[in-house]
Chains A and B, each alone.
Chain A
Amino acid sequence: MFQFSAAVSNPHRIHYDRRWAIETEGYPDIVVQGHMQAALLARAVTDWAGPRGRLVRFAMQNRGAAFADEALRFEGVVSAVSEAEGETVVELDLVAMKEDGTVLGPGTATVTIRDRGAHEGVDKWG
């Protein structure tokens, strides 16, 4: 969490100063950055999609806070599949949650997956 705050230049104390988070702001522990929750949910999508997949749309709502040392789960279900221009377009319903099922954020994503070989010699993705 400290490394993520550093990587995005986020100086908010609730993400790294345990005493401040607990004693001054009343949280149970340091607070997981909202952007880190989103980035981890997006990572679950790109891990699933593999290198032929490209994340073209990603949405997440903020519904709850997570705290240091809590285990989080990131899940997705394919909601639609279509074909367009040699690519498979996959729509996903996503959710980030705690192990007890508390939802941190529902989300959606669209991934395009290039058909095998379709990318040969083509730098379509710039």
Chain B
Amino acid sequence: MPQLLITDEARAFVGVDVPLGTGIVSRREFQRWAAALDDWNPLYFDDEFAREYGYREAVAPALFIGCVTRSPVALGSLRPDGLPAQPSSGMVPLPYTPRYMAGGDVWEFLASAYDGDRITASRRIVALEQKEGRSGPFVIITGRTSYVNQDNVTIALCTDTILARK
């Protein structure tokens, strides 16, 4: 019988919403994000242009929403490689497969985000699945994060997969 990699403790995380934090959408921050991609789309920079196309004002780039709720991290808490010593919340403890690799994201964008919007993110593990690979067994973690604004409107949903290996 193959080793069971998904512990009862890990299984208890499935289906439980974990708050990831709240953050305010800032025009300066989303414009900085766009500028780092050399993306000068006037929808993100020009209120009048954005209004012409049905937006309330300059709108945040869709994928920007993913970083709005990240909290500042204390420098002293970082490992030598720069990653936080504490794993981010919303993760699941898998003691036998500690090496995580992001598999990909599926985003659904349901509404627009603007300067000043207050976004609350929460994540739930929707599935844990043990698989057999060429280099041994591994676990596929499927998570789903929702981004909801101050009016309780869901702005975006992101389903992510993480491969956890030995």
Closest Cβ neighbor of B114 among chain A residues: A126
How many A-B residue pairs lie within 8 Å, measured between CB atoms?
A: 116
Contact residues of B: prevailing secondary structure = mixed
Task: Provide the bound-state CA to CA distance between A110 and B112, in Å.
Answer: 16
Task: Provide the bound-state CA to CA distance between A9 and B109, in Å.
Answer: 22
B123 nearest CB across to chain A (Å): 16
Residues of B within 8 A of A (CB): 29, 32-33, 35-37, 39, 41-43, 49, 52-56, 61-63, 66-67, 70, 72-73, 78, 80-84, 101-112, 153
Besides A46-B41, A51-B43, 14 other A-B contacts (C-beta < 8 A): A3-B32, A4-B33, A7-B29, A7-B33, A8-B66, A12-B82, A13-B80, A38-B105, A43-B41, A47-B41, A56-B109, A122-B54, A125-B54, A125-B111
Identify 24 residue pairs between A and B in the complex whose beta-carbon atoms are under 8 Å apart, listed by A's number.
A7-B32, A8-B33, A9-B70, A9-B73, A11-B78, A13-B80, A17-B82, A24-B81, A35-B63, A36-B36, A39-B37, A39-B63, A42-B63, A46-B41, A51-B41, A51-B52, A54-B109, A56-B109, A56-B110, A61-B103, A61-B104, A62-B101, A114-B54, A125-B55
Residues of A within 8 A of B (CB): 3-4, 6-9, 11-14, 17, 20, 24-25, 34-36, 38-40, 42-43, 46-47, 51-52, 54-62, 105, 114, 119, 122-126
* Nearest 5 CB-CB pairings of A with B: A61-B104, A13-B82, A3-B36, A4-B36, A119-B54
